[in-house]
C-alpha cells in the first residue's frame, strides 16, 4: 500500500454530517461534482446514520468517486468501508485501536484524526497511512477539540512522522499554502465544500495553492 500513498490526493473533503436530515442529498451532489473535477479524498462522516443507511450511501458514492480517481473513506466503520468497496476507513481519535483495524482489514487504507503531537506520533507508530491534524486555525466546527494548534505545531507534527499529514480546521485556499510550506501533504475541510453547485470552482481555488 505504501506505493499508492505517495499518490494520495492533496485535497480532503469531509461530508456535511447532515445526511440523516437531508437523506440522499448533499453527499451525492458533492460526489457528482467531484466526478467532473477530482481526484480528492472524500470522507463520509455521518454519525447520524445507522450502518445500513451508511452502507447504502457509500455504495452509491463509490462509483461516482471512482470516475475521477477519488478515494472514498468511511468514518470509523471499517466494516461498512469494506462491504461497500470504499478505499479506506478514517478513524476518529477515540476509535477502535488502529493496529487492530489494520490487522482485521489489511486491504483498507486507514487514516486517523489527531489533535496533539503525542497522539500523532502514536497513530503513526500504530501503522496508519495518513493523519488529519488540527484544528490548525480557529473554526467553529472544531471548537470542541480545543484552541487552534497553529502552524508551528503543524510543522512539528509533519517533522515527527513519515506519513502524509493533512491540515484541518479553518483552512481557506490561501491558508493551504502556508500549511504545505510547513510540511503538510494536503488540507482537509468540510465547510468550504458544502455548496455543491460551486464545488468544482472551489476545488480549483484550493488546487491553486496545493502542489500537483
Partner 1 sequence: MKLPHRFLCVITDDHRCPVELARLALDGGARMFQLRRKSASGRELFEWAVRIQELCRQHEALFIVNDRVDIAMAMHADGVHLGQEDLPAAAARAMLGPDALIGVSADGVNEARRALEDGADYIGLGHIFPTYSKDKPDPPLGTSVIGEVKKVVGLPVVAIGGIGPDNVEEVMNAGASGIAVISAVSGAQNPTAAARNLVRRIWQ
Footprint of partner 1 on this chain (CB under 8 A)?
Answer: 50-53, 55, 76-80, 82-83, 89, 91-92, 94-97, 100-101, 103-105
Q: How far is the CB of 97 from partner 1 (least distance, A)?
A: 6
Using CA atoms, how far apart are residues 199 and 212, in angstroms rounded to an integer?
19
3-state DSSP call for residue 91? strand
CB of 63 to partner 1, least distance (A): 17
**Number of H helices and number of E strands within the chain?**
9, 8
Q: In sequence order, what DSSP letters do the residues of 122-147 get, joined into one string?
A: HHHHTT-SEEEE---S--GGGGGG-S
> Taking the complex as a whole, how short is the minimal distance between the CB of residue 212 and partner 1, in angstroms?
35
Residue 145 or 193 having the CB closest to partner 1: 145
Give, for 153, the enclosing helix (H) or strand (E). Answer: helix 150-160
Distance CA 27, CA 20 (A): 11
Q: How far is the CB of 62 from partner 1 (least distance, A)?
A: 14
Mutual orientation of helices 117-125 and 150-160 as an angle, nearest 10°?
A: 20
Amino acid at each position: 500500500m505504501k506505493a499508492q500513498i505517495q499518490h494520495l490526493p492533496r485535497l480532503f473533503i469531509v461530508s456535511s454530517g447532515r445526511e440523516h436530515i437531508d437523506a440522499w442529498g448533499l453527499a451525492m451532489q458533492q460526489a457528482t461534482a467531484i466526478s467532473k473535477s477530482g481526484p480528492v479524498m472524500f470522507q463520509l462522516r455521518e454519525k447520524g446514520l445507522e450502518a445500513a443507511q451508511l452502507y447504502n450511501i457509500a455504495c452509491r458514492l463509490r462509483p461516482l468517486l471512482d470516475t475521477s480517481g477519488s478515494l472514498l473513506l468511511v468514518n470509523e466503520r471499517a466494516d461498512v468501508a469494506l462491504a461497500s468497496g470504499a478505499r479506506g476507513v478514517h478513524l476518529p481519535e477515540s476509535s477502535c485501536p488502529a493496529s487492530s483495524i489494520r490487522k482485521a482489514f489489511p486491504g483498507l487504507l486507514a487514516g486517523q484524526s489527531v489533535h496533539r503531537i503525542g497522539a500523532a506520533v502514536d497513530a503513526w507508530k500504530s501503522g496508519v497511512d495518513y493523519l488529519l491534524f488540527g484544528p490548525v486555525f480557529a473554526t467553529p466546527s472544531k471548537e470542541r477539540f480545543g484552541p487552534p494548534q497553529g502552524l508551528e505545531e503543524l510543522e512539528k507534527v509533519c517533522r515527527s512522522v513519515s506519513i502524509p499529514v493533512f491540515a484541518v480546521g479553518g483552512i481557506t485556499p490561501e491558508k493551504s499554502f502556508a500549511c504545505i510550506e510547513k510540511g503538510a501533504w494536503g488540507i482537509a475541510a468540510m465547510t468550504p465544500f458544502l455548496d455543491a453547485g460551486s464545488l468544482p470552482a472551489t476545488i480549483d481555488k484550493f488546487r491553486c495553492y496545493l502542489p500537483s
